[in-house]
């Protein structure tokens, strides 16, 4: 059993009969190009009007864009109105005010993150940064969730490459738990826990997948899921949206390479990607450090897990790191 | 948006286009009786030797039992050895010492909780109680997770009716969050938060499914999942294993009725059932209150949810409560 140093969550890591990539029931994500994808060129009228686009040609809501950001057609939260916080007997409620946007990453319906040109991924990251910086001006929004579901098994309802951004009027409890855990560590050690992880993992190497001058890709010490992957910036920074141009450029390369490795070792799995970043109204924090995590969909959480937040992981991170390190890319 | 009063977790509850039972993709759990189920009569040798059995006839590991408890053949934790807590650089680890037992609930392979005789369910609950009380003598064990996965979609790998008990050497983080949240409420109000919920829900009625002299079945105020169901004892008690005979008898009736209602409204869904109870080495707590929760498998958590512990629930609990209340049972 290993303890996640940030949240204090214990996980059971299988030893002995560890699962190898071929032991998982794998369902490669395949394309079934639909007749009319709302994110393809020419179908711009099928989405709400665009919020942002990087274009080669064309006007607003016309073809010619490279990256296009639109409101989610079925948003989980509404952008208009007051939060109107109120009691309800012993309970508390408020209006679900927030933003829910879709970042269409490319006009190419069949592109994948592992095959997109690096420059394309870099532009997607710039769109992330630009949208967060715009939305954070609205002081009702406390946290931004940037995520990407790839494949139906990972919850993607549209196959055209896209990410999502949700601006929330509250800080989710798991984000609060991470930030609080990192703060406690800082109070004790006067060092950022993530910077310590970067140093230890780079030196140890057993859980290391890739290292560049700006990033470390690791399998974390106490992962909840097999092949759970963290992409950690080596330089300290609490907010993703403050990352500079060379960092985003290197992140694009790292994302592409990492997804390629996962696709090679696990046969094009479905996956979820999340940008973990500090709550957006906070000033830069000494004790928190943004990162990207990718979790391939290989296991199904059952009653035990959701009831207790206690996970059994059948693959030690040292094993998965080895498979990913050894996945040579052409 | 509504706030869970115990943990402080916010959830988005859909209004307007709320999902009705028929809107979910339902996959009724069906039986595909295998040739040789290890939990059927005559196959007792296919499991490890039994720990406990209630019998009509037969000797140890022979047919004739009504309820049978055996060690899990592929346990997540081992019962032998020392915890051996130690550091690993900046990290912490220990041996995965614990118990993992299977409660075979009936010799009838095709029985379901909604159709089993009440007396049978009561005996299963007695087996739960007896096993927890036995295992808690081992002071290495801090928490007991009692759960039941029904149907492959809910993670059940064997279809023969069974529950599981896992004894852990740590208190899982979500249990700690609940207990701490309840304690904070008690410090402020000098009342148990669950007792307050019982009073408010019984008086309000909008989220009430069933009420007996000993239990309240409700759809909670801020459920993470559609048709998430809580079975709350009306009398205060922090530990399930301290429940007395009339309570377990009534709980058996309530469980049967509740599962029957869920099966009627949702067409025999897969589900997870969990007993939430206080950490086992604690003396009785004024501020915590045990309960049973049932979550039918209707939605799939995607990237957004696991990354943030922030949930969007498409069905208001007032709606699901109405469907369950109106599900007349013959």
In chain B, residues with a C-beta closer than 8 Å to the C-beta of A100 are none
For residue B159, what are the contacts with CB-CB under 8 A and spacing of at least 6?
B31, B32, B33, B34, B37, B109, B152
Task: Determine contact: A77 vs chain B, CB below 8 A.
Answer: yes
A233 close to A213: Cβ distance less than 8 angstroms: no
How do A162-168 and A99-104 pair as beta strands?
Answer: antiparallel
Q: Give the number of other CB atoms < 10 A from CB of residue A71.
A: 16
Integer CA distances (angstroms), B225 to A75, A96, B162, B305, in order: 18, 17, 23, 11
Chain A closest-CA separation from residue B59 CA (Å):
32
Given a cut of 70, the residues of chain B with pLDDT beneath it are: 16-18, 300-307, 330
Task: Determine contact: B81 vs chain A, CB below 8 A.
Answer: no
Count Cβ–Cβ pairs < 8 Å, chain A vs chain B: 163
Least CB-CB distance to B1: which of A89, A94, A177?
A: A94
B12 close to B31: Cβ distance less than 8 angstroms: no
Task: Determine contact: A80 vs chain B, CB below 8 A.
Answer: no
Interface test with chain A among B180, B272, B307, by most A beta carbons within 10 Å: B307
In chain B, residues with a C-beta closer than 8 Å to the C-beta of A308 are 145, 172, 174-175, 274
Note whether B310 contacts A145, CB cutoff 8 Å.
yes
In chain A, residues with a C-beta closer than 8 Å to the C-beta of B94 are 1
DSSP letters for A66-106? EEEEEE-SS-SSBSSS----EEETTEEE---B-EEEEEE--
In chain A, residues with a C-beta closer than 8 Å to the C-beta of B307 are 145, 147, 174, 272, 274, 276, 293
Integer CA distances (angstroms), A31 to A43, A112, A259, A270, in order: 19, 11, 17, 12
Interatomic CA distance for residues B172 and A151, integer angstroms: 31
Q: Give, for A275, the enclosing helix (H) or strand (E).
A: strand A271-276
Chain B closest-CA separation from residue A253 CA (Å):
22
Structure tokens at B146: 């009692």
How do B86-88 and B143-150 pair as beta strands?
Answer: unpaired
Minimal-distance CA residue of chain B relative to A89: B200
* Secondary structure (3-state) at B257: helix
Chain B closest-CA separation from residue A96 CA (Å):
5
Least CB-CB distance to A304: which of B3, B145, B304?
A: B145
pTM assigned to the model: 0.92
Nearest to B76 by CA among B140, B130, B145: B145
Integer CA distances (angstroms), B221 to A291, B199, B261, in order: 33, 13, 19
In chain A, residues with a C-beta closer than 8 Å to the C-beta of B99 are none
Q: In whole numbers, what is the pLDDT of chain B averaged over residues? A: 92
| Buried b or exposed e, range B285-314, using 16+ CB within 10 angstroms | bebbbbbbbbbbbbbebbbbbbbbbbbbbb
Minimal-distance CA residue of chain A relative to B195: A90
If contacts are CB pairs under 8 Å, which of residues 242-271 in chain A contact chain B? none
Task: Determine contact: B309 vs chain A, CB below 8 A.
Answer: yes
In chain B, residues with a C-beta closer than 8 Å to the C-beta of A307 are 145, 147, 174, 272, 274, 276, 293
Fold of A37-77+91-326: HIT family, subunit A (3.30.428)
Which residues of A are the active-site residues? 162
Note whether A164 contacts B200, CB cutoff 8 Å.
no
Task: Determine contact: B103 vs chain A, CB below 8 A.
Answer: no
In chain A, residues with a C-beta closer than 8 Å to the C-beta of B303 are 147-149, 154-155, 272-274
Task: Determine contact: A293 vs chain B, CB below 8 A.
Answer: yes
Write down the pLDDT at residue B230: 98
Chain B closest-CA separation from residue A181 CA (Å):
12
Note whether B1 contacts A164, CB cutoff 8 Å.
no
Structure tokens at B314: 């498409």
In chain A, residues with a C-beta closer than 8 Å to the C-beta of B200 are 89-90
Q: Report the side by side order of strands in the sheet with A2-3.
A: A311-313, A10-13, A2-3, B91-93, B86-88
If contacts are CB pairs under 8 Å, which of residues 14-73 in chain A contact chain B? none
If contacts are CB pairs under 8 Å, which of residues 120-179 in chain A contact chain B? 145, 147-149, 154-156, 164, 166, 168-170, 172-175, 177
- Sequential pLDDT tens for chain A (330 residues): 999 999 999 999 987 666 778 777 677 888 776 778 999 999 999 999 999 999 999 999 999 999 999 999 888 888 888 889 999 999 999 998 999 999 999 999 999 999 999 999 999 999 999 999 999 999 999 999 999 999 988 888 889 999 999 999 999 988 999 999 999 999 999 999 999 999 999 999 999 999 999 999 999 999 999 999 999 999 999 999 999 999 999 999 999 999 999 999 999 999 999 999 999 999 999 999 999 999 998 876 655 666 677 888 989 999 999 999 999 775
Task: Determine contact: A94 vs chain B, CB below 8 A.
Answer: yes
Note whether B302 contacts A154, CB cutoff 8 Å.
yes
Minimal-distance CA residue of chain B relative to A189: B90
Task: Determine contact: A197 vs chain B, CB below 8 A.
Answer: yes
The alpha-helical segments, DSSP class H, found in chain A are 118-135, 173-189, 193-204, 245-266, 303-308, 317-326
Integer CA distances (angstroms), B78 to A276, B75, B146, B279, in order: 34, 7, 17, 20
Write down the pLDDT at residue B306: 65
Chain B closest-CA separation from residue A167 CA (Å):
12
Q: Where are the beta strands (DSSP E) in chain B?
A: 2-3, 10-13, 52-55, 65-71, 86-88, 91-93, 99-104, 143-150, 162-168, 208-211, 215-218, 229-233, 271-276, 291-296, 311-313
Q: Which CATH architecture has domain B47-326?
A: 2-Layer Sandwich (3.30)
């Amino acid at each position: 059993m290993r303890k996640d140093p940030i949240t204090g969550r214990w996980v059971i890591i299988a030893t002995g009969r560890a699962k190898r990539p071929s032991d998982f029931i794998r369902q490669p994500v395949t394309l079934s190009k639909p007749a009319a994808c709302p994110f393809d060129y020419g179908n711009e009228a099928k989405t709400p009007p665009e919020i942002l686009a990087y274009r080669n040609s064309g006007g607003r809501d016309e073809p010619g864009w490279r990256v296009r950001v639109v409101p989610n057609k079925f948003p989980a939260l509404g952008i208009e109105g007051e939060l109107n916080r109120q009691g309800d007997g012993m309970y508390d409620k408020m209006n679900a005010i927030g933003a829910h946007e879709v970042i269409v990453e490319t006009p190419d319906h069949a592109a994948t993150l592992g095959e997109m040109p690096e420059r394309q991924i870099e532009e997607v990251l710039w769109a992330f940064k630009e949208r967060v910086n715009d939305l954070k001006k609205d002081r009702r929004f406390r946290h931004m969730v940037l995520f990407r579901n790839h494949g139906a098994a990972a919850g993607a309802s549209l196959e055209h490459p896209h990410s999502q951004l949700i601006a929330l009027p509250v800080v989710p409890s798991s984000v609060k738990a991470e930030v609080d855990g990192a703060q406690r560590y800082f109070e004790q050690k006067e060092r950022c826990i993530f910077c310590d992880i970067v140093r230890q993992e780079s030196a140890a190497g057993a859980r290391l997948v890739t290292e560049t001058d700006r990033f470390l890709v690791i399998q974390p010490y106490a992962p909840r899921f097999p092949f759970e992957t963290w992409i950690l910036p080596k330089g300290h920074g609490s907010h993703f949206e403050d990352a500079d141009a060379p960092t985003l450029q290197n992140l694009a390369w790292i994302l592409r390479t990492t997804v390629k490795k996962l696709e090679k070792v696990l046969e094009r799995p479905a996956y979820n990607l999340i940008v973990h970043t500090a709550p957006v109204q906070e000033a830069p924090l000494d004790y928190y450090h943004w990162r990207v995590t990718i979790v391939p969909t290989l296991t199904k959480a059952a009653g035990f897990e959701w009831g207790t937040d206690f996970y059994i992981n059948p693959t030690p991170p040292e094993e998965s790191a080895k498979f990913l390190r050894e996945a040579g890319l052409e």
